[in-house]
Homo-oligomer: A and B are copies of this chain.
C-alpha cells in the first residue's frame, strides 16, 4: 500500500499527522486525544512509519512519534502545477466579476454565450 496518497486517504491517519504537527506524542497520548483504540493507533503509526511520514524514538516503555517532512512534501510538490492553474483561474474570475459589475448590476444578465445561440455551457452537465 506504499503510495503516499493512499496513506493520507485514511482520516484517522490524517488526524494523527495533524496531532503531531504541534509536537511529538506517545501512542497513549494519541490514543486519548483521538479517542481511538490503541491497536488501531499502533497500526496506523506503523503504516505512517514505514512510509516515512513519522519517526519514533524509544522512551522506556513509551514510543514517541514525530513528523518527518519528506512524504508530505511530495504531496505538496504534486499540487504545485494545480496551484499555478487556480491562481490563473482566480484572475480570470476577477476580470469576469469586474466586467459584470460595470454592465448591469443586480440583474440576472443573459450573458451572451460563445459560438452561436444556446450552446456549450447551456446544456452543460457537471452532474
Chain A residues packing against B (C-beta within 8 Å) = 3, 5-6, 8-9, 11, 14, 17-18, 21, 49-50, 55-59, 63, 67, 69, 72-73, 75-76, 78-79, 81-83, 85-86, 89-90, 119-121, 123-127
**Residue among A81, A89, A119, A124 with max Cβ neighbours from chain B (10 Å):** A124
Give how many copies assemble into the complex: 2
In the complex with contacts A17-B82, A86-B73, A89-B69, A57-B127 CB distance below 8 A: no
**Residue among A5, A21, A56, A90 with max Cβ neighbours from chain B (10 Å):** A5
Residues of B within 8 A of A14 (CB): 5, 78
In the complex with contacts A49-B127, A56-B124, A57-B120, A82-B9 CB distance below 8 A: no
Residue in B closest to A76 when the chains form the complex, CB atoms: B79
Residues of B within 8 A of A75 (CB): 75, 79
Q: How far is the CB of A26 from chain B (nearest CB, A)?
A: 13
Q: How far is the CB of A55 from chain B (nearest CB, A)?
A: 4
Q: How far is the CB of A24 from chain B (nearest CB, A)?
A: 11
